[in-house]
Amino acid sequence: MRRQRRTKILATLGPASTSRDQIAALFAAGADVFRINMSHTPHDKLREFVETIRSIEQEQQRPIGILADLQGPKLRVGTFKDGPVTLANGSSFVLDSDKKPGDVSRVHLPHPEILAALEPGHRLILDDGKVTLQAVKCTPTRAECRVVVGGKLSDRKGVSLPDTDLPVSALTDKDRSDLDAALNAGVDWIAVSFVQRPEDVAEVKKVARGRAAVMAKIEKPQAVARLAEIMDIADALMVARGDLGVEMPMAKVPGIQKQITRQARRTGKPVVVATQMLESMITAPVPTRAEVSDVATAVFEGADAIMLSAESAAGQYPVEAVSMMNRIAEEVEADPTYRAVIQGQRAEPEATGADAIALAARDIAETLDLSAIVCWTMSGSTALRVARERPKPITIALTPKIATARRLALLWGVHCVVTQDARDLDDMVSRACRFAFQDGFAKPGQRIIVVAGVPLGTPGATNMLRIAFVGAETVDD
């Protein structure tokens, strides 16, 4: 199965997509990677999802990526004695360590780390932005606040702190348990929530030890401020726009999305744009025009992947949502302005041999109008460098490691094939031509370019390229 687009699609699994037939239908509709939200998935269901996806992978003979999304810390207020309260603008409200049920003047905050870190002037955003407080006077056990944006507040509503750097790990005890379960189940990507600093990502990578790649979710102002440091250590990034829109002014989120996608392109790290992309399709068979434009913008920006959350996990039209996202991406990539926009975003290559080879492969392939760029890769780094250049021809990644192929399923413009490692250079070129033909990317008489590392099988040693003809004798082997 070959896709007609370069941008990849992540589909979240959930109550609307639990059966094998439903998951197979999502894959057929265009899903390249499946996201398992550990906030709602017990470990036995996680293993069931992974087994189902692997059986579909075997049936379709196409590598499929699996991403486990860790929940992260959930900060919430306590409970209220007589039910919900309504806070008036300008009134005083206290958050404290007293476990008694709250009222209109105060409530328990069961997170001493927040009370210890709060400073006067810091904002507290409650219930996804419906109520905003500003700290006036702070002690380790009590924060007196002024109500900036009033409204109804009820039991266990969430707390966001856009101005406060919390001295807490991004991994809770639940996350550590979920991480172990996901790694043991054999997922390909781990998404880390509540990232504030590069150490949060490093902590997960230390546990993963290469068994899965690690994606940092950028959903907090603290992460945006330290984006370059986080990007250095993460294997990929997710623009988690829902939480960003709560903790930062919504008008800033589109600009931040562009900053993250551009910076990820410069560093060659995959980037996923997520949250509310086709939100109305949770209950409607078609999206709004604004949602179509939103998806199209992410594709024009050159994002590696675009993601569906509740649309495919709990919506009434999960397959239709994937099909719609697939169709939007195909239309954008066929638009006459698409290549010009993508080319205008290209960054200068780093001063490395691998980057120089990747740049040369792109230039040669586009100048000579070659049919495909075929990368032999062990670790996936060769395909990453070529994908960073956003070449016009398809990139075919040939690898002997199924784990590498599954991770590369997230990557822009990369078609992955699992095959035995090449015996020598002639075998490398011959099989590159054969796979380009078999998967429908090249015809006899057309040319491809082969990129690899010599000696063969040496991870990260991208140092060779070769132009090859797809001949009748090659495809008949």
Phi then psi for residue 464, to 5 deg, are -140, 145
Three-state DSSP class for 123? Answer: strand
Q: Which amino acid is at 369?
A: D
Of 41, 52, 164, 275, the active-site residue reads 275
Which residues are bridge partners to 102 per DSSP? 80
d(CA 131, CA 231): 32
- Residue 351 in contact with residue 24, Cβ under 8 Å? no
d(CA 327, CA 333): 10
Of 35, 62, 362, 447, the active-site residue reads 35
What separation in angstroms does the CA of 377 have from each of 81, 400, 451? 61, 8, 9
Measured in whole angstroms, the distance separating CA 98 from the mean position of its chain's CA atoms is 39
- The closest of 171, 173, 108 to 142, measured between CA atoms, is 108
d(CA 459, CA 127): 47
275 tagged catalytic: yes
Of 3, 20, 74, 76, the active-site residue reads 76
Of 8, 106, 157, 217, the active-site residue reads 217
217 tagged catalytic: yes
Buried b (16+ CB within 10 A) or exposed e, 216-225: bbbbbbbbbe
Please compute, for residue 327, the number of CA atoms within 13 A of its CA located in the half-sphere on the CB side: 11
- The closest of 101, 123, 119 to 110, measured between CA atoms, is 101
Go through the chain and tell me how many residues it has: 477
| H-helix or E-strand spanning residue 328 | helix 318-334
Looking at the annotation, which residues are catalytic?
35, 76, 217, 275
